[in-house]
Structure 1
Amino acid sequence: MSLRLDWSNEQEKIEIPADWIAKLEQLLQLAGEAEGLHDGEVTLTFVDNEQIHRLNKEYRGIDLPTDVLSFAMLDDGTEELDIIFEVEHEDELDPISGMLGDIIISVDKAVQQSEEYGHSLEREIGFLFVHGFLHLIGYDHQDEQSEKEMFAKQEAVLQKAGLTR
């Protein structure tokens, strides 16, 4: 088994080029390698602001669109997830499918943020994807220290993949 990406495009603003998907697959491998995670499946869905707004309101109680949402399959019912590599028995993760979870990216927000930050849309989508992946495996940014750690990990993966600012 290896890390696999399954994706769909449910928005019409932009077409997702094949080379972007190849880059996202590379980012998944690099991020997994950095975390010592080599098996599992991630589902990625591209949506518009309206769709992500609805999901954000329904699942997080926040009545606004956001850039990325992550839904981990490894949620143990507690508020915080344990980081995957700290799990003692790998077969406890998801023995049926190996599914790590779902990442949903708002293309509308990605376009807006790439313009605000002055970098390519491909880099912004890559950033959001790696950010979502790290959430799937238990990272969060609720305080300054965890935010610095998570953002440093994201930047290292993006740099390795050549997605610089």
Structure 2
Amino acid sequence: MGLEIDFIDETEQQQEKTFQLVEELLNLAAQKEGVAAGCEISVTFTDNERIQEINREYRGKDQPTDVISFALEEVGEDEVQIIGAEDQPRMLGDIVISVSRAKEQAAEYGHSFERELGFLAVHGLLHLLGYDHMTEAEEKVMFAKQKEILNEYGLQR
């Protein structure tokens, strides 16, 4: 048993093969990162308009983006730590992907939609696991992991 993934398709246009691809990739990434089986995440497929609203509301950037992650385990100054939930499934967070943007970027980068979607899903999961790319060193680590996972799955650039 791998991750428990709740898929939400706001576009109402995704096919079963899309869900299967993302599920397989996220489970491969979780396995490589040592994530325990049964951890839960949600993956939402949306469009540019909706992700722009989310980006504006949560990040203060009034423009569409490709993927946004909301980690549920970040405990910072303004966060509340939940006590007594040790026996509950680990909730990693939410990944929101703009399918429109994924298609645009696939064409722009000259690779398949599946490769771009896979990249965005893995990128989102790594953010949920605490990876970031704010510095050059962080970016090097995170992007190397993404490339390794995508290559192992067979989605080379």
Q: TM-score, normalised by structure 1?
A: 0.85
Match of 2:69 in 1: 70
Residue 29 of structure 1, CA deviation: 1.4
Structure 1 distance, partners of 2:10, 2:30, is: 26
Structure 1 residue 136 corresponds to structure 2 residue 134: no
Provide, for residues 17-71 of structure 1, a one-character-per-residue CA deviation record: whole Å limited to 9, x for no partner: 2122112111111111111112311100011111000000100111111100000
Letter in 2 for 1:43: S
Would you say the 8 A contact 1:27–1:161 is kept in 2?
Answer: yes
1:1-165 matches, within 5 Å, as: 2-11=2-11, 15-39=13-37, 40-78=39-77, 95-165=87-157
Displaced runs of 4 or more, over 4 A: 91-95
CA RMSD of aligned residues (A): 2.0
Letter in 1 for 2:29: A
Give the total of aligned pairs.
152
Structure 1 spans left out of the alignment, 5+ residues: 80-90
Provide, for residues 109-158 of structure 1, a one-character-per-residue CA deviation record: whole Å limited to 9, x for no partner: 10110000001101101000000000001000001111011011001111
- Percent of pairs with identical residues: 50
Structure 2 spans left out of the alignment, 5+ residues: none
Would you say the 8 A contact 1:23–1:161 is kept in 2?
Answer: no
SS of the residue 1:115 aligns to: helix
SS of the residue 2:50 aligns to: helix
Would you say the 8 A contact 1:101–1:136 is kept in 2?
Answer: yes
Residue 75 of structure 1, CA deviation: 1.4
Q: Mean Cα displacement is larger for which, 91-100 or 117-126?
A: 91-100
Structure 1 distance, partners of 2:90, 2:120, is: 22
Q: TM-score, normalised by structure 2?
A: 0.89
Would you say the 8 A contact 1:110–1:124 is kept in 2?
Answer: yes
Provide, for residues 4-24 of structure 1, a one-character-per-residue CA deviation record: whole Å limited to 9, x for no partner: 211011025xx2221221121
